[in-house]
A = this chain, B = another copy of it.
Amino acid sequence: MIDLCTLGCGGSIPMPNRALASLYVRVQGRGLVIDCGEGTQVQIEKLGWGFGNIDTLLLTHFHADHCSGLPGLLLQLAKAHRAEPLHIYGPAGLENVVRCLRVIAPQLTYEICCHELPAQQSAFHACGMEVTAFPLNHGMPCLGYSFCLPRSPEFQREKAEALAVPVRLWRYLQAGQEVETDGRVIRPEQVLGPARQGICFLYATDTRPVPAISELGQGADLMILEGMYPERQHMEKALKNRHMLYEESAQLAKAAGAKALLLTHFSTRVEEPEAFLPMARSVFPNCDCAADGLTLTLRFPEEAQK
């Protein structure tokens, strides 16, 4: 399972009652944070999931509302006695941005590994998840991220017993490796069940609609997309500032056949993001608005049924 928290849900400028958009992803005891604007560290403190387990930070782009909190977060991790490297992923230019912002956080207890991602789609692993970064359309290099936590096939004990595989070898088969016993080679597929569905979600803010969002979000358990502007009357602004309307995000979720959509990154001018949900729901019914500190858990299908 994966725990998610929308640490903030605001765009552009932090507000007294709405922190800047950021997502905390907790999986298998490790933490990953997407974006880190001014105030994100305070939201993490409020949440209580801790700083010590955060080992990956993904930045979508280098507008201040998405990375101005970086020096403060880096210092928090040092205060949490971090010793292992912190991995930061982001678009080209990442190393320079991190180096510049560290002018006020020069001394840390750990190493920072910057991974500048290419302008085209790329993949890497983080916190046990397969992550795909893909280009958005925001007038400056900006990335969306899709995540998949794979689910290994079920180990079928009765088949292993029928084949007389010693228990000490089960874990190798479980991990997908062949084993040899009594001169016989046992292959994993002889004792494992069929492929099982993983947990998939996608995060994309600060963009006009691009096909990659619905392509990479195919059948996703959750899509978290921006709802910068609620109504069609804001289309001129959306085009100028390269953001999406509620309706456009809902259309992408529909095209993806996603299970759920969470809107975030609301304009400071929108006081009640929920007020405009009916329009988005007319396109994609299972749609909600994020809120600061909103947590939810995505489970593997078998877990969800329990």
Find chain B residues with CB under 8 A from A14 CB. 39, 41-42, 72
Q: Which of A13, A42, A76 has the largest count of B CB atoms less than 10 A from its CB? A: A42
* Of the residues B13, B16, B63, B104, contact of A68 by C-beta under 8 Å: B104
Q: Is the CB of B64 within 8 A of A104?
A: yes
Q: Is the CB of A16 within 8 A of B42?
A: yes
**In the complex, what's the smallest C-beta–C-beta distance from A165 to chain B, in angstroms?**
53
Q: When chains A and B are docked, how far (Å) is the Cα of A39 from the Cα of B40?
A: 10
* Of the residues B15, B76, B96, contact of A13 by C-beta under 8 Å: B76
Find chain B residues with CB under 8 A from A39 CB. 14, 38-39, 42
Find chain B residues with CB under 8 A from A71 CB. 64, 68
**In the complex, what's the smallest C-beta–C-beta distance from A106 to chain B, in angstroms?**
10
Q: Count identical subunits in the complex.
A: 2
Residue A45 at the chain B interface, CB threshold 8 Å: yes
Find chain B residues with CB under 8 A from A13 CB. 41, 72, 75-76, 79
* Of the residues B45, B76, B101, contact of A103 by C-beta under 8 Å: B101
Q: Which of A46, A101, A105 has the largest count of B CB atoms less than 10 A from its CB? A: A101
Q: Is the CB of B104 within 8 A of A38?
A: no
Find chain B residues with CB under 8 A from A79 CB. 13
Find chain B residues with CB under 8 A from A68 CB. 38, 68-69, 71-72, 104
**In the complex, what's the smallest C-beta–C-beta distance from A46 to chain B, in angstroms?**
5
Q: Is the CB of B15 within 8 A of A42?
A: yes
Residue A97 at the chain B interface, CB threshold 8 Å: yes
Find chain B residues with CB under 8 A from A101 CB. 100-101, 103-104
Residue A246 at the chain B interface, CB threshold 8 Å: no
Residue of B nearest to A19 (CB): B42
Those 6 A-B pairs whose CB atoms lie nearest each other, nearest first:
A100-B103, A100-B100, A64-B104, A38-B72, A16-B46, A64-B71
Hey, which bits of chain A sit against chain B, CB under 8 A?
13-16, 38-39, 41-42, 45-46, 62-64, 67-69, 71-72, 75-76, 79, 96-97, 100-101, 103-105
Listed A/B pairs (10) with beta-carbon separation below 8 Å: A14-B39, A16-B42, A38-B68, A39-B39, A62-B103, A63-B104, A64-B71, A68-B71, A96-B103, A101-B101
